Amino acid sequence: MTTRYIIILPDKRLRLASEPVKAIDKELRRLVDDMFDTMYEAPGIGLAAIQVAVPKRVVTVDIAKKDEPKQPQVFINPVVSWASEETATYEEGCLSIPDYYEEVTRPVAVKVKFMDLSGKTQEIEATGLLATCLQHEIDHTNGVLFIDHISKLKRDLVTKKFKKAAKRADGDKTRVEPSTRDL
């Protein structure tokens, strides 16, 4: 099992538009395996490759409940090909914005076109939790975060909070440098 480091806000790479996958090779299969390991370990129900700092259009999802068998799903180069006019509001979170949750309104149903691991083009219609999850993850492949769908006031507040936390973490790093204080 190999888990990768999940980058968090305000890491600028989260704002990158990821590149389309051109070939399903060994490296891509390893990325997908690592993404599942990382997602299950977190734990999360969806992960985009950019969250482990790989700017490729790859998304892993598993919305199975805890007492249900695993349902790993991979979406390569996913795009929303249709979205319902009807919307639904869910409280969302993000592994790259830990411990922050906010209600987001999105289309309640979407069709998503993608490539599977055998290179075949597929299209699925998703509703409810899966629809929200796929829209959230596809947003990641375009450098969009769920906080872009909330009010500017709330977005500014959470961004500020994470910038401060990142600064503190930097400070901690210098503090744990070997020092005569540790003799």
Contacting residues toward Zn ion, per CB under 5 A? 94
- Sign of the Cα pseudo-torsion (164, 142, 4, 99, in order): positive
Q: Which of 109, 114, 161, 106 is nearest to 131 (CA)?
A: 109
Does residue 168 sit in helix, strand or coil? helix
Sign, CA torsion 171/177/179/181: positive
94 vs 126, which CB is nearer to Zn ion? 94
Chain residue at closest Cβ approach to Zn ion? 94
Find the shortest distance in angstroms from Cβ 160 to Zn ion.
19
Query: Does residue 47 contact residue 60 with C-beta atoms inside 8 Å?
Result: yes
Instruction: Please tell me the distance from the alpha carbon of residue 81 to that of residue 74, in angstroms, as a whole number.
Output: 17
Nearer to Zn ion, 6 or 108 (CB): 6
The answer to whether 114 and 157 have CB atoms below 8 angstroms apart is no
- The CB-of-51 to Zn ion minimum distance in angstroms stands at 6
Determine the straight-line distance between the first and last CA of the chain, rounded to whole angstroms. 37
Nearest distance, CB of residue 20 and Zn ion, angstroms: 20
* Of residues 46 and 109, the one with the C-beta less far from Zn ion: 46
CA distance 57 to 47: 11
Residue among 107 and 143 whose Cβ is closer to Zn ion: 143
- The residue among 5, 4, 9, 7 whose CA lies nearest residue 145 is 9
Q: Is-catalytic flag, 27? A: no
Q: Which of 41, 91, 103, 137 is catalytic?
A: 137
- Shortest spacing between CB 47 and Zn ion, in angstroms: 8
Point out the residues that are catalytic: 137
